[in-house]
Amino acid sequence: MELSKAFTTTEIRDMAISVIAVALIFSYPRLIEFPIFLVAVIIAFLFHELAHKFVAQRFGAVAHYKMWPHLLVLGLVTMFTPFKFVAPGAVVIQPYRFGRWGYRIKHLTPNELGLISVSGILVNLFFALTFRLIDIPIFQSIALLNAWLALFNLLPFGPLDGRKVLRWNIMFWFILILISFLLVASALLL
């Protein structure tokens, strides 16, 4: 698929700004490590969002990444504190597609909504488990970042994926949050 058909220029801009900002937030005050954090954020954050986008599109919905400037600024402000807040944007899913004579509505089933929501978390858990097996400090850091992102997104609040996954399948949500918690705990105890 051609890049211009898969992504709008606004979406590419929003993703690039978000990835750079998140890498900057995590690398501060050790800005010399920015390139390392940039790679880690691409693997953890960008691939998480792309999973949502591509699964939603697979189900016939329109999906695009939307940056949230006010939360991006909040994240940049909190980078100077011990508690960093990172929520620069998300994939917006619209269950319709414009056509020549108007639009057609695609009703997403509860199962489809659950699969869209869980897709980003599964990407993070895949990378967390994969990089956890490689005993090199940078890979352990990437594994931890992915495990944290999965655990954070599984919280059942607000617009986070956890609320949608919990509504879709409570047992699957419980298993995923347990795996995420164990991955984070085991990485922090090393």
**What is the model's pLDDT at position 108?**
85
- Sequence-ordered list of residues with C-beta below 8 angstroms from that of 159, at least 6 positions apart, any chain: 90
Q: Is 33 a catalytic residue?
A: no
Q: Check if the beta carbon of residue 154 is closer than 8 Å to that of residue 161.
A: yes
pLDDT surpassing 60 at residue 1: no
**What is the model's pLDDT at position 2?**
57
Higher pLDDT, 180 or 141: 180
pLDDT tier for residue 84 given thresholds of 50, 70 and 90: confident
Residue 188 gets the label, from left (phi > 0), alpha (psi -120 to 50) or beta, of: alpha
pLDDT tier for residue 86 given thresholds of 50, 70 and 90: confident
Catalytic residue among 2, 11, 33, 49: 49
- Sequence-ordered list of residues with C-beta below 8 angstroms from that of 118, at least 6 positions apart, any chain: 161, 165, 168, 172, 176
pLDDT digits (tens, 9 = 90+) for 38-59: 999 999 999 999 999 999 999 8
**What is the model's pLDDT at position 98?**
59
**What is the model's pLDDT at position 3?**
55
- Sequence-ordered list of residues with C-beta below 8 angstroms from that of 140, at least 6 positions apart, any chain: 131, 132, 134, 187, 190
**What is the model's pLDDT at position 106?**
65
pLDDT tier for residue 32 given thresholds of 50, 70 and 90: very high
- The two counts, helices (H) then strands (E), for the chain are 9, 4
- Sequence-ordered list of residues with C-beta below 8 angstroms from that of 79, at least 6 positions apart, any chain: 24, 25, 28
Compute the average pLDDT of residues 92-112: 72
pLDDT tier for residue 72 given thresholds of 50, 70 and 90: very high
Q: Check if the beta carbon of residue 131 is closer than 8 Å to that of residue 100.
A: no
Compute the average pLDDT of residues 12-19: 97
Q: What is the mean pLDDT of the chain?
A: 90
Indicate the pTM of the whole model: 0.89
DSSP readout, 119-167?
A: HHHHHHHHHHHHHHTS-SHHHHHHHHHHHHHHHHHTS-STTSHHHHHHH
pLDDT digits (tens, 9 = 90+) for 103-162: 565 678 889 999 999 999 999 999 999 999 999 999 998 999 999 999 999 999 888 899
Higher pLDDT, 108 or 9: 9
**What is the model's pLDDT at position 158?**
83
